[in-house]
Amino acid sequence: MGRCIYLNGKFVNTREEALISAYDHGFLYGDGIFEGIRVYNGRVFKLHEHIERLYHSAISLMINIPMSMEEMEKAVVETCQRSGMDNIYVRLVVSRGPGDFGLDPRKCPKPTVVIMADEISLYPKDKYEKGLKVVTCSTRRNRPDCINSQIKSLNYLNNILAKIETVKYGADEGVMLNDAGYVCEATADNIFIIKNAKKLFTPPAYLGLLEGITRDTVMNIAKELGYEVIEMPFTVHEIYASQECFLTGSGAELIPVIEIDGRLVGDGKPGKHFKKLLDAYQKMTHSQGVPIKSATVSV
């Protein structure tokens, strides 16, 4: 029991068995889409929302996924069941499939579907308690009129270039701006700041960021807790001047930022508002979701 991988209708347990064609356009050109999904205490969190976003991305790229949404949800649940774990990270990938050396998608008759159930640890445990040190990257976020940021595609070169900068400067994470100088997101996560007591700010999607499912969940939680949630453009100066800052993502969950570009955020420690939101998020994730022990999946 442990890792489990679904590959085009079959299940394998090792990375070595999970083989795809070298001519797959996901490998050759990054032509595909993916989702990162969490399982907490045997429950798949926000499963339908992730599957829905996957299929919306597929529509934009004109990839005909050879499964219905309901069949995909059942495949995710079964993959998690077979792993034997209760706390899992699921990486769901759909590529254009094998073709030739040309770009023509018509040469790829059948998409490749891979579902990987495994463990994840994006940051050391102490970073969740002490906070991240981040830098502003010179690599700008892709313009949404060039590559729509709502397509969660396999082409992550933009983010990888920013991550290379982050590593070079010895930081934990990097903040990416758009071509107008507004904050978009981190290299792999959405970003929030808190100013003026209970006002929570996050950049709007039209600037070129992905509308993360964890981002939306935190926004809804914050509203229920009485915070004013404001989606508006802001510059890195606003992060410098904020009381608190934190990142969100399915992989990272919620993690605090305590320093950016050598400047302390607030008092340089994870703040009380972050802790309050984190506590509410953790209670939700451990009580809601599709149970993997059940044989049925409701859509």
| Residues recognised as catalytic | 152
- Which residues make beta-bridge pairs with 229? 200
235: left (phi over 0), alpha (psi -120 to 50) or beta: beta
Q: Which of 8, 88, 4 is nearest to 291 (CA)?
A: 88
* Structural element, H or E, at residue 280: helix 272-285
What long-range pairs does 141-147 form, CB within 8 A, spacing at least 24?
Answer: 141/176, 141/177, 141/178, 141/179, 141/184, 141/185, 141/207, 141/208, 141/209, 142/208, 143/178, 143/179, 143/208, 144/206, 144/207, 144/208
| Helix, coil or strand: residue 44 | strand
What does the alpha-carbon distance between residue 142 and residue 187 come to, in Å, rounded to a whole number? Answer: 12
Task: Classify burial at 178, counting beta carbons within 10 Å of its beta carbon; exposed 0-12, middle 13-18, buried 19 or more.
Answer: buried
Closest of 147, 119, 86 to residue 286, by C-alpha? 86
As a whole number of angstroms, the distance between CA 109 and CA 25 comes to: 11
Rounded CA gap, 240 and 266, in Å?
A: 8
Q: From CA 246, how far away is CA 186, in angstroms rounded?
A: 10
Which is nearest to 240 in space by CA: 142, 136, 163?
A: 136
Pair 95, 111: CB distance under 8 Å: yes
